[in-house]
């Protein structure tokens, strides 16, 4: 019921096992560990291979329909 798809590998899993990246029209793009903030979101697995694949294929910016800040990839790989 709360399953989401990883933008890196395409695996469908429960959203509590995924990183949520949200674009809010007021705040911009941020890593959203809680689900109280609404906006356009994309999900990633907690492994570097999925993060790298999603950035390499530009899937995050396509899903959020905006350009991404440069430091976002570093934050995700280093455990935000």
Residue numbers of the domain that contains 28? 3-77
- The 10s digit of each residue's pLDDT in 13-30 is 998 899 999 998 887 888
Of residues 12 and 28, more confidence is placed in 12
Task: Give the Cα separation of 44 and 48 in Å (integer).
Answer: 10
Please state the domain count of the chain: 1
pTM of the model as a whole? 0.87
- The 10s digit of each residue's pLDDT in 21-72 is 999 888 788 887 766 778 899 999 999 999 999 999 999 999 999 888 888 8
Q: What are phi and psi of 12, to 5 degrees?
A: -95, 125
Q: What is the CATH number for 66?
A: 3.30.1230.10
Nearest to 31 by CA among 75, 77, 78: 75
Place of tokens 């907690």: 46
Report yes or no: 29 and 68 within 8 Å, Cβ to Cβ.
Answer: yes
> What pLDDT, on the 0 to 100 scale, is given for residue 12?
96
């Amino acid at each position: 019921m709360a399953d989401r798809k990883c933008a890196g590998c395409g695996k469908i899993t429960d959203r509590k096992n995924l990183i949520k990246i949200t674009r809010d029209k007021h705040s911009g793009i941020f890593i959203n560990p809680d689900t109280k903030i609404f906006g356009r979101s994309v999900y990633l697995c907690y492994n570097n291979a999925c993060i790298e694949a999603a950035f390499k294929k530009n899937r995050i910016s396509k899903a959020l329909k905006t350009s991404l800040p440069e430091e976002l990839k570093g934050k995700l790989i280093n455990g935000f």
